[in-house]
Structure 1
Amino acid sequence: MPRFKHYNYDQDAMVVINYQEQLQPGTFEHAVHYLIEHKLDLTIFDPKYNNDATGRVAYDPAILLKIILFAYSKGITSSREIQWCCETNIIFKALSCDTVPHFTTLAAFVSRHADEIEALFEQVLLVCHEQGLLGNELFAIDGCKMSSNAAKEWSGTFKELGEKRTKLRHLIQHHLKEHHQRDEAETEAELDRDIRRAKTTLSLDESLKKVDRFLKTSSPRMGQGKRRKEVKSNITDNESGKMTTSKGTLQGYNGVATVDKKHQIVIDAQAFGEGQEHHTLKPVLETVQHRYKKLGIADDIYQTGTNVTADTGFANEANMQYLYEQEINGYIPDNRFRSRDPKFAQQKDKYGKRHQNKASSSWKKVIPASEFQFDPMTMTCVCPAGETISYQGQREAENGKTRVHFEGRLLQCRHCPKKHQCMQNPASADHRKGSGRQVSFTIENKRQPNYTDWMKHRVDSPQGKAIYSHRMSVVEPVFGNIGTNKKLNRFSLRGKKKVQGQWQLYCMVHNIEKLANYGQMAA
């Protein structure tokens, strides 16, 4: 018969734990502890506390910071879960000296100290500079779109929200009318149905008040473009934006990070409530320049030979002009960058989804716009079937060219024998959705060279291709670390300032990891 070691759950034991010994050198928790105790100035939090004479004794910001940063490094964002870890996990106990802050204290610390968090981010960046982790050779800029603590169902223009308010009023009137028609419930089942109807009415009434209050106290939100068109507002968090990503449409923020090439240190982290990245380039570059001058790293970092790279989402004429006038060594390609490169000539044939199975029935070749008869004098266009399609107007593209747009009427295209070779989605015409075939033509080929042409020449040069080839390997691993290892897939706060504070905390965790791995943390 086998023998096993004896155990008894009723026995008592006294375990002596030295908290300092739990924070082993070379670990993230040791780096956080050392930085906060010896390198960072936490007196910036003092003005927020007014309990020097009266009031309850507060938790030290050093303790709260250590707990939150270590929790974020382990992918824990829930303040309730962080509190539970302080009660059960030995590393959390060591960092907090066996104190257990309430989850509301932890949540309030993150949401109420956005300015102080930015100052701490700069202090950690300065430590990285002092330990030689910044190369200042190349900066890569990119954005990571994530959901926020707001539902996209509560988004819309003021006209759409007004229609939503009217619809809610009609629903409430409908439920109240049905309720008054029944003077008394005859059976228990009917009584339960009336109770459910009453709860539904109360819920609709709360939603109506929410929409009505927003429309009366807010103004339409305008976009960042030249035309300043109205964009969709959000009742829950009006500073967030509705963004289209590869995984669908979300309501959230775009976390833009600027990363140094040498050790992938994040030198700037900002959150923007718009999906388009065009207008984010200038404030990001200005913030980096101001921060480097403030920290004494460089008076004008862009005049020291530093290269700046960003993807095509940041490319437009205004940004190219800004880079040229400020003499910044920027390399930002347009969306035709790959098509001009001979190395990518066969890329679509080899990897493109449209070319993986040309023999399949789903693949088809659409009739090109060149087969449409366009008359620039009369501004008319005749389709291959002989129908004159409607003139939709002219628009000037960012490259300076003017294009004229035409669109076929749905009644014309629905019964056309060539619709399967002409329309992108012929099934939409059969189901009374969408529109007919759309085409556009350039009517102004001769134009003066612009700043986009200047950038094309820079990016297409051998030196430009060599510099831009480093962009993805610099910034994308940062997003991979924060999103996959740290499990940040959504922002849990509301408001641009608070979300930016949380984004900077995560980027600070990334930088502290770099200090722990490549820096000179004391043993």
Structure 2
Amino acid sequence: MCFPRNLRRQSMKRFIEGANREQSTLLPESLDDWIDDSNPVRAVDVFVDGLNLVKLGFDGVVPEATGRPSYHPSALLKLYIYGYLNRVQSSRRLEREAGRNLEVIWLLRRLTPDDKTIADFRKDNGGAIKKVCAQFVMLCRKMGLLNSASVAIDGSKFKAVNTRDKNFTRGKAERRRTQLEDSVARYLAQLDTADRQEPSEALAAKTAHLKEKLAKLGEEMAKLAAYEKHMLATPDQQISLTDPDSRSMATSGRGSGVVGYNVQVAVETEHHLIVTHEVTNSGSDRAQLANIASQAKDVLRVDKLEAIADRGYFSGEQILIL
């Protein structure tokens, strides 16, 4: 149903109306007016501006004399921290946020780096970013937020870019070899049947197709043999082809698993701040307690530390180390 324009205007008076998008202004609004003084994004801005990025080891702090200008590492670091705080991990999503999110537009001063620039910054400055985490812990200590001598420790499994098909353990390799051998036997049987039939163009095409499949299976078996040789030479007899450091790990879901990393985190129990973290490729938490607890103790600078963990961490050897 359509209403006359004057009737629509009268009905709109009963609602809060938005601004006219086509209305021009003599004095443009300041970008700073869009961000409240209590917005956490201002803390990110001040924190990064107070860091010595050269000392922390960031690339590109001193610009090259020639070539195309690059983004200052402080801008990309602010974007990275903003994404971390708001659970925006993808470089492509961060690129989109830089063009539409007012907080990010304010934080980056309208800069819009592309996803490759963001991803390369993360890849090339991993060690420096970890030092930034340490600087944040130092800031929290100065503010009196890390006075507790108690931490809660837990681990989380994070998926790597490596798929399950590109990860091999002894069991997976044996199952894959059995599948290939079964396929070879099936195709050989089909070839044997074809040999006993009367020659024809259709039969010749089918035979050529079967031989092509057998050749591909032979290549796969050769690759599998090379993977097995490499796998047996590793300490845990497991390899990942795309992300070599990632490992196959069981998760809480029944019959589920992930190829990825086990990230250990120690959280201070009073203000719930992350004190320290460690990325491992061990699927079990059982051997992680002593290491992460010792790191937390050093960060908090205490003589005695209370560490709380679930039963998955229980190990007499680890307790003796502590």
TM-score, structure 2 as length reference? 0.75
Give the SS at the match of 1:146: strand
User: Partner residue of 2:102?
Assistant: 90
Query: 2:92 touches 2:115 (CA, 8 Å); kept in 1?
Result: yes
Counterpart AA for 1:273: N
Query: 1:267 touches 1:288 (CA, 8 Å); kept in 2?
Result: yes
- C-alpha displacement at 1:202, in angstroms? 10
Is 1:261 aligned to residue 266 of structure 2?
Answer: no
Q: Alpha-carbon deviations, 1:298-339, whole Å to 9, x = none?
A: 3xx2x2x4322222111111012112xxxxxxxxxxxxxxxx
Question: How far apart in 2 are the matches of 1:59 and 1:245?
Answer: 40
User: Partner residue of 1:306?
Assistant: 305
Is 1:37 aligned to residue 43 of structure 2?
Answer: no
- C-alpha displacement at 1:216, in angstroms? 4.8
Q: 2:128 aligns with which of 116, 121, 125?
A: 116
Residues 73 and 234 of structure 1: is their aligned pair in 2 closer, same or farther, counting only changes over 3 Å? Answer: same
Residues 19 and 9 of structure 1: is their aligned pair in 2 closer, same or farther, counting only changes over 3 Å? Answer: closer
Is 1:250 aligned to residue 275 of structure 2?
Answer: no
User: Partner residue of 1:315?
Assistant: 314
Question: How far apart in 2 are the matches of 1:12 and 1:199?
Answer: 69
Query: 2:59 touches 2:124 (CA, 8 Å); kept in 1?
Result: no
Question: How far apart in 2 are the matches of 1:68 and 1:206?
Answer: 43
Q: 1:2 aligns with which of 1, 7, 14?
A: 7
Question: How far apart in 2 are the matches of 1:68 and 1:202?
Answer: 48
Question: How far apart in 1 are the matches of 2:268 and 2:278?
Answer: 15
Question: How far apart in 2 are the matches of 1:59 and 1:201?
Answer: 53
Q: Alpha-carbon deviations, 1:357-384, whole Å to 9, x = none?
A: xxxxxxxxxxxxxxxxxxxxxxxxxxxx
Counterpart AA for 1:222: P
Query: 1:147 touches 1:250 (CA, 8 Å); kept in 2?
Result: no
Gaps spanning 5+ residues in structure 1: where? Answer: 224-229, 324-523
Counterpart AA for 2:253: K
Question: How far apart in 2 are the matches of 1:137 and 1:19?
Answer: 43
Any residues of structure 2 matched to 1:117-156 within 5 Å, and which?
A: 117-156=129-168
Q: 1:283 aligns with which of 268, 285, 291?
A: 291
TM-score, structure 1 as length reference? 0.49
Q: 2:91 aligns with which of 71, 79, 82?
A: 79
Counterpart AA for 1:70: Y
Residues 234 and 3 of structure 1: is their aligned pair in 2 closer, same or farther, counting only changes over 3 Å? Answer: closer
Question: How far apart in 2 are the matches of 1:3 and 1:168?
Answer: 71
State how many pairs are aligned: 299
Give the SS at the match of 1:141: strand
User: Partner residue of 1:427?
Assistant: none
Question: How far apart in 1 are the matches of 2:137 and 2:257?
Answer: 32
Question: How far apart in 2 are the matches of 1:258 and 1:309?
Answer: 9
Q: In terms of mean alpha carbon deviation, does 65-74 or 157-166 score higher?
A: 157-166
Question: How far apart in 2 are the matches of 1:20 and 1:10?
Answer: 20
Question: How far apart in 2 are the matches of 1:237 and 1:104?
Answer: 19
Q: Alpha-carbon deviations, 1:182-209, whole Å to 9, x = none?
A: 99679xxx99xx99x9999999789667
- C-alpha displacement at 1:69, in angstroms? 2.1
Query: 1:137 touches 1:307 (CA, 8 Å); kept in 2?
Result: yes
User: Partner residue of 1:99?
Assistant: 111
- C-alpha displacement at 1:105, in angstroms? 1.1
- C-alpha displacement at 1:219, in angstroms? 4.4
Give the SS at the match of 1:134: coil
User: Partner residue of 2:3?
Assistant: none
Question: How far apart in 1 are the matches of 2:148 and 2:162?
Answer: 37
Q: CA RMSD in A?
A: 4.1
Any residues of structure 2 matched to 1:160-179 within 5 Å, and which?
A: 160-161=172-173, 164-165=176-177, 167-168=179-180, 171=183
Counterpart AA for 1:270: E
Counterpart AA for 1:67: L
- C-alpha displacement at 1:165, in angstroms? 4.9
Q: Alpha-carbon deviations, 1:220-266, whole Å to 9, x = none?
A: 4435xxxxxx5x44333343333333323222222211111221111
Is 1:222 aligned to residue 227 of structure 2?
Answer: no
- C-alpha displacement at 1:146, in angstroms? 3.4
Q: 2:81 aligns with which of 69, 74, 92?
A: 69
Gaps spanning 5+ residues in structure 2: where? Answer: 1-5
Query: 2:48 touches 2:74 (CA, 8 Å); kept in 1?
Result: yes
Q: 2:281 aligns with which of 256, 273, 281?
A: 273
Counterpart AA for 2:281: G
Residues 245 and 216 of structure 1: is their aligned pair in 2 closer, same or farther, counting only changes over 3 Å? Answer: closer
- C-alpha displacement at 1:101, in angstroms? 0.8
